Amino acid sequence: MKVNGVKIDDTYAEAFPVYVARVLITGTTTALAETAATVATGFATSVIGCSAEAGIDRYVMPSETPDGRPGVIIMVVHPSKKQIKSNLIERIGECVLTAATTAVFNALESEETVPVKLHFFGDGYEYQTTVGGRDVWAIPILEGEFICEETYGVQKGVAGGNFFIYGDSQGSALLAAQAAIGAIKSVDGTITPFPGGIVASGSKVGCPTYSTFMKASTHHRLAPTLKDKVPDSFVPDGVKSIYEIVICGLSEEVIAEAMKRGILAAAHAQGIIEISAGNYGGELGPFKFNLHEILSDYADPK
């Protein structure tokens, strides 16, 4: 299959279940909410070495928020529900409560919830009130008052949605990856937790050479500089650079939609030779996203 002249590999992305929480951070301006959101979702690319996977889901207009101010919804993802709770406490407590002009609200309706009791910071000076129909705490702080909800919805979601962009140069692959990330931003309920949404160093499970202490290592079969040095390289002729896009989201549907929009955007950039995806033969998780199915409506005529 080809899309806009770019070969689409006949493969699938394999993904696995996680818990997901969503937090609305409002601020006096969008930029102020965004500053808090960026810091609160930092150092959260992969649960291999970070406390969670997190990122900005979407921007919210003032008319849609409980306090009539602009906002940013962040998503926090982890296989363990307990870790969701501790991440919310620490990431909101350290990075949003401290940020200028912000307030926080739950942004995920769900039967399952976790408590995030920030009001103790008020040392008894805090009080309960309502904002936009929500029960909140108002905590007196230096800048004024910090408004927060304390019950956050948690639900099962999907992590590890992915695709690979094969370029004829690093510049080609990178610009296509940036275009893909821009397109994925339009899909509510998804995040791309890596820096700028892009993974430069996709990994394989395990590390044969240093197996005693490394759980993952470079996906050497996809490393272009090793194409002629390893017997089983996957790198097609002419491919000089590859980027991976990794997507987490609320459901299989939004992951599939994000993959579709991202791949289409990448396929309309210059110098892209092929789009593929990563899987582990079903060992990683139960979700499969078949590229040819996702893109069936967009295949070039033969």
Q: Using the rule CB under 8 A, is 108 a contact of a second copy?
A: no
Q: Output the smallest distance, CB 77 to a second copy, in A.
A: 14
Residue 196 tokens read as 């700028």
What is the closest distance, in whole angstroms, from the C-beta atom of residue 20 to a second copy in the complex?
18
- Residue 209 within binding range of a second copy, rule CB under 8 A: yes
Q: Which of residues 135-174 bind a second copy (CB under 8 A)?
A: 139-146, 164, 167-174
Quick check: 280 binds a second copy (CB under 8 A)?
A: no
Q: Does position 205 bind a second copy by CB under 8 A?
A: no
Out of 203, 259, 274, 277, the only residue in the binding site for a second copy (CB under 8 A) is 203
125 binds a second copy (CB under 8 A): yes
CB atoms within 10 A of CB 246: 23
Q: Tokens 């409002």 identify what position? A: 26
Q: C-alpha angle 164/165/167, rounded to 5°?
A: 145
Rounded (to 5) percent helix, strand, coil in the chain: 30, 35, 35
Q: Which residue from 10, 43, 80, 129 is in contact with a second copy, where contact means CB under 8 A?
A: 43
Question: What is the residue-wise DSSP string for 116-172?
Answer: --GGGGGTT--EEEEETTEEEEEEEETTEEEEE--EEEEEEEEEEEEEEEEESSHHH
Residue 199 binds to a second copy (criterion: CB under 8 A): yes
Q: Which of 20, 75, 158, 269 binds a second copy (CB under 8 A)?
A: 269
* Helices 170-184 and 252-267: angle between axes, nearest 10 degrees: 140
Size of the site for a second copy (CB under 8 A): 112
Which of 20, 222, 259, 291 contacts a second copy by CB under 8 A? 222
Question: Are 182 and 261 a contacting pair, CB within 8 Å?
Answer: no
